[in-house]
Chains A and B, each alone.
Chain A
Amino acid sequence: MSNNGQFPINQPIFGAIVVYDGLNAPVTGLVQGDFSFLFSNDGVIVTPVVTFGETGNGRYFFSFTPDALGEWSGLIRNATYNPRGWFEEFYIVSNVPPGAHSSGDSAGAIWWHTNEFGKNLAKYNLSVEEEQKRKMLVIMALIED
């Protein structure tokens, strides 16, 4: 695996591993059951559905879809060829489109998003009593767009 960094939530993440034997020859013909897949999200074990396949010459691909924000770790082990496994971390962030703004009635918050996933340009926390003010801010944001 070589993927790392930040990825949007609810979007499939693809990764690749290459398996060699003790003589550095590519190992072909392995199937999903030959590997163990261990994932965690913010330190808690999770079990996402993993899609797995062989792409030839010892190469294998996998994908999974993170459904929660935070730090995900993925560890893929093959007891014979790589008992320590392939390990990587993925930081999952919001997939709100760049420049979008949104309001949350329950949380009473308005967010303005930048071009980078998960980064917020500004956040306004408003109490329920300030609903009118919140609506005004939304209108102002729409006008600015």
Chain B
Amino acid sequence: MARSSQTVNTLIHGTIVVYNNTNAPVTGLVQGDFTYLMALNGVVNATAITLTEISSGRYDYSFTPTVVGYYHALIRNATYNPRGEQDEFDVQ
């Protein structure tokens, strides 16, 4: 989890890595295989997240914050990572 300062109305990228239970990278997942939970200043927020595959189990996600504040993104895959991956962004 990396917390970083970002600029409002600018596309923000993040990366997550997905493995199966034998530690092999999981490839071929798509946007619909994940759930996306976003919060802004502690309140549920509907900012859309786009996810694309990079390679070797790595997936890029991106979103554009339109409001200044503290964003928390939680991305879950029910099969491989039900706890999810999270990131924090200070948007200014």
Residues in chain A within 8 A of chain B (CB atoms): 4-6, 38, 40, 42-45, 70-71, 73, 75, 83-85, 87-91, 116, 118-119
Q: Per a CB cutoff under 8 Å, which of A45, A88, A89, A90 touches B55? A: A45
Tell me the residues in window 1-57 of chain B with beta carbons closer than 8 Å to chain A beta carbons.
1-6, 12-15, 17, 19, 23-24, 52, 54-56
Known contacts A5-B4, A85-B17, A119-B92, A43 near B56 by CB under 8 Å: no
Q: Per a CB cutoff under 8 Å, which of B6, B13, B56 touches A42? A: B13
Known contacts A71-B13, A84-B19, A89-B14, A38 near B56 by CB under 8 Å: yes
CA distance A38 to B12 in the complex (A): 20
**Interfacial chain A residues near B58, Cβ < 8 Å:** 38, 40, 73, 75
Task: Give the nearest-CB partner of A91 in chain B.
Answer: B4
A75 in contact with B56 (CB, 8 Å): yes
**Interfacial chain A residues near B24, Cβ < 8 Å:** 83
Task: Give the nearest-CB partner of B15 in chain A.
Answer: A73
CA distance A43 to B53 in the complex (A): 8
A71 in contact with B14 (CB, 8 Å): yes
**Interfacial chain A residues near B92, Cβ < 8 Å:** 119
A89 in contact with B2 (CB, 8 Å): yes
B17 in contact with A6 (CB, 8 Å): no
Could you tell me the distance in whole angstroms from the C-beta of A17 to the nearest C-beta in chain B?
A: 15
Q: Which of A6, A83, A89 has the most CB of B within 10 A?
A: A89
Q: Which 4 A-B pairs have the closest CB atoms?
A: A43-B60, A73-B15, A4-B2, A71-B13
A-B contact pairs, 21 of them (CB 8 A): A4-B1, A4-B3, A5-B3, A6-B5, A42-B13, A42-B60, A42-B62, A43-B13, A43-B52, A43-B54, A45-B55, A71-B12, A75-B17, A85-B17, A87-B17, A88-B2, A89-B2, A89-B15, A91-B2, A91-B5, A116-B5
